[in-house]
Amino acid sequence: MLEPRDVGHRVVVRRRAGVRDGRPVYSDALGDLVALDEAGLTVLTRNGPLRIPRGDVVAGKRIPPPRMGTAALERIASEAWPAAERDRLGDWQLRATGGWTGRANSALAVGDPGLPLPDAVDAVVDWYAARGLPPRINVPLPLAAAVGAVLDARGWLAAEPTLVQTAPLANLTGAAGGDDVRLAPAPSPAWITAVQRWKGALPPEAHGLLTGPSQVRFAEGYRDGALAATARGAVVSGVLHLGLVEVAPAARRQGLAARLTRTLAGWARENGAHTAMLQVEESNGPAIALYGALGFQTHHAYVTRTFSA
């Protein structure tokens, strides 16, 4: 049976829904458990909240959240990190933001580009060349393996794989918030300065990217009164996209990154999110270990390919 610790998780509840021909009729309710008390429980189903009296509950159990497909998750990530200029090539997205960050200045090769793949690659090259940017294509694997094969044949360079990891928000529990962690709806000058130290100078277009989503928060972590860590969270379609998580060297291995992550997770749950996602380079062992301890698992990987003239 369900317990108070199951609130906030996805559940299925078998209930008595009536009587037919003198026999009880049963029905299953699937959704998020949002309330549980002595009188009954409430499940948030796709048709809205359903209150079930305790006497009608036959059985209930926690179940894993639905797994999103690679294409859906990549498109959510793109909306959470919205490039200043976006165009379409069939289903592909063409993105540019003054050269700041590879993801915001690369084509997302998801879906049908509406052209034969060699012609689609040529169109990507022309689009970025017209903006004075190196042509790049993000290739999710194995979904876009056919695109990768075309780029291999043309000699495009490949960056190291980036792992896209996800975790149920309900798992991101533990110590959060406190005087050393703060959330704000806009980046402070100190936050911007800290990010620029390791991400490079922000072009004018970057501000719109950072603040573009309707649900976004900027996290600051402090040690001894000084800003020591940053993170950004944006909620899109029920998914918390985490990024720009960085801790100053002197403040590492003190749990600050985990506190920022959990604080953003708490905010996201209050705003209807159910899943967290992030991107981490395959070689970043310490970060992968940190996120693994928080419950993140690799969903898929992508490789950023760059045109080599």
Render pLDDT for 60-85 as a digit per residue (tens, 0 to 9): 998 876 678 999 999 999 999 999 99
Q: In the chain, what is the greatest distance between 2 CA atoms, to the nearest angstrom?
A: 77
Which among 278, 283, 275 has a CA at the least distance from the CA of 298? 278
Beta strands in the chain (DSSP E): 10-20, 23-37, 40-45, 48-53, 57-62, 85-89, 92-96, 107-108, 136-141, 157-158, 162-168, 181-184, 216-223, 226-236, 239-247, 275-281, 297-306
Per-residue confidence band for 175, with pLDDT thresholds at 50, 70 and 90: low
pLDDT tens string 276-292: 999 999 999 989 998 99
pLDDT tens string 206-252: 999 999 999 999 999 998 888 899 999 999 998 999 999 999 888 88
Per-residue confidence band for 270, with pLDDT thresholds at 50, 70 and 90: confident
Q: DSSP secondary-structure letter at 178?
A: S
More confident residue, 98 or 225: 98
Does residue 174 surpass a pLDDT of 70? no
Sequence spans of domains, the chain: 4-62, 89-156, 165-304
Provide the CATH number for the domain formed by 165-304 in this structure: 3.40.630.30
Question: Which residues, other chains included, contact 86 with Cβ-Cβ below 8 Å and sequence gap of 6+?
Answer: 93, 94, 95, 96
Provide the CATH number for the domain formed by 4-62 in this structure: 2.30.30.100
Which among 1, 63, 8 has a CA at the least distance from the CA of 35? 8
What was the pLDDT predicted at 305? 98
More confident residue, 44 or 135: 135
